[in-house]
Amino acid sequence: MKYATKLLHTGNEIDEQTGALSVPIYQASTFKQDDVDNPPQYDYSRSGNPTRAALENAMAVLENGTNAYAFSSGMAAISAVLSLLKAGDHVIAAQDIYGGTYRALTRHFFKYNIDVSFVDATDINKIEEAIRPNSRMLVLETPSNPLLKITDLRACAQLAKKHNIITVVDNTFMSPYLQRPLELGIDVVVHSATKFIGGHSDVLGGIVAVKDKNLAKHIYFIQNTMGAVLNPHDCWLLLRGIKTLKVRLDAEQQGAMYLAQWLKKQDFVKRVYYPGLEEHPGHSLHFRQAYGAGAVLSFEAKGVATAKKIAANVKLFFTAVSLGGVESILSYPVKMSHASIPQEERKKLGITDELLRLSIGLEDPEDLAMDILNAVKQ
């Protein structure tokens, strides 16, 4: 089955009982038990819910894993994965990891005596140098946020395997349509389903997908124990989002490519970051491990005042946090997604006060370009 077909035929799209072409929203907390000696498949919705199960099964199929688990947000999913760790463990994480993941590691898991080293994950030698005897997990994100740096997932998986380290990839920017890390040897995939999987800026959710039954058992234990499950209605919204994932992303990344090429030619722009551009340093590596450049790009304006003017004056772009919706969103990383990373750290990473990030939606890309141009001229 080609991926376009698979998105609609995961095997979880029909209501078995009625044949309805939509999974019912099982809005129930508990389930009647006829025989207490033989508990039914579902007994309590934290432990399992049929709508959630449909979403989880669909995501396992789409990531080409064995199991997937749905959480109340992307951060709940990431926190569940980090909860695989125990006191004394060491984590290696990409230095330009999502701001919330950075905060979770440095200010929350830190309290449980879990140490973290941040490295430039685009350089496999830097990762290798960071490995200690107690290193247990490697946390990656490619393309990274907001500079769209590319990490070699196959090489990382190989290196980690040699050292018994669990590899985790935050696949939010790509979605399983454009990149499937489990197929490249990665152990755990996480998503903020809030973004491309939901796709309509109307739901928060998180997914963890794995291809190993033992890891699956641990993630399920954490999901049920910590309790940050996704509610049935939001599971249904994600199931609906999945059906249009390909058509949305195809159109959105076409728009992103148009914007990237257009921005490159503007004299108010210093630099454009988009893995779809041939001059992007990670371009060829990215296309060896992914099926498209995605719908997120960023650029540096000439001068902080210009960047702020654009953020303040765009009309079609909504200046907001988040990405992956059908409407285009412009964000200002230093004040939004990366505000929790200290300024000194941000400087080192190249996340400047002139940087703007764009998530391209379904508007006509020519209108989006004019929107930016009009904002600059204000």
Ligand X SMILES: *Cc1c(COP(=O)(O)O)cnc(C)c1O
Give the binding site for ligand X (CB under 6 A).
Answer: 73-75, 98, 100, 141, 145, 170, 172-173, 192, 194-195, 204, 206
CA distances from 16 to 22, 131, 240, 270 (A): 10, 49, 17, 55
Both tokens of 190, joined, read 């996480």
- Choice between 207 and 269, CB closer to ligand X: 207
- Choice between 61 and 140, CB closer to ligand X: 140
Q: How far is the CB of 75 from ligand X (least distance, A)?
A: 4
Provide the 3-class DSSP secondary structure of residue 170. strand
**How would you class 29 by CB atoms within 10 Å of its CB: exposed for 0-12, middle for 13-18, buried for 19 or more?**
exposed
Both tokens of 152, joined, read 């070699």
- Choice between 136 and 195, CB closer to ligand X: 195
DSSP one-letter code for 231:
P
**How would you class 86 by CB atoms within 10 Å of its CB: exposed for 0-12, middle for 13-18, buried for 19 or more?**
exposed
CA distances from 246 to 74, 127, 192, 197, 209 (A): 21, 33, 17, 10, 19
Q: How far is the CB of 173 from ligand X (least distance, A)?
A: 6
Q: How far is the CB of 191 from ligand X (least distance, A)?
A: 8
Q: How far apart are CA 180 and CA 289, in angstroms?
A: 8
- Choice between 172 and 298, CB closer to ligand X: 172
- Choice between 50 and 292, CB closer to ligand X: 292
Q: How far is the CB of 361 from ligand X (least distance, A)?
A: 15
Q: How far is the CB of 178 from ligand X (least distance, A)?
A: 14
Q: What share of the chain is helix, strand, coil (3-state, %, to 5)?
A: 40, 15, 45
Rg for the chain, CA atoms, rounded: 21
Q: How far apart are CA 370 and CA 122, in angstroms?
A: 34
Say how many C-beta atoms besides its own lie within 10 A of residue 116's C-beta: 21
Q: How far is the CB of 194 from ligand X (least distance, A)?
A: 4
197: amino acid identity, one letter: I
Across the chain, the runs of DSSP E, i.e. the strands, are: 67-71, 90-94, 115-119, 135-141, 166-170, 188-192, 206-210, 269-273, 296-301, 318-319, 329-331, 355-359
Q: Which residues are catalytic?
A: 46, 98, 170, 195
How open is the CA angle 125-191-312, to the nearest 5 degrees?
95
Q: How far is the CB of 206 from ligand X (least distance, A)?
A: 6
Across 248-361, the runs of DSSP E, i.e. the strands, are: 269-273, 296-301, 318-319, 329-331, 355-359
Q: How far apart are CA 268 and CA 239, in angstroms?
A: 41
**β-strand pairing of 329-331 with 355-359:** antiparallel
- Choice between 67 and 101, CB closer to ligand X: 101
Residue nearest to ligand X (CB): 74
Q: How far is the CB of 29 from ligand X (least distance, A)?
A: 23
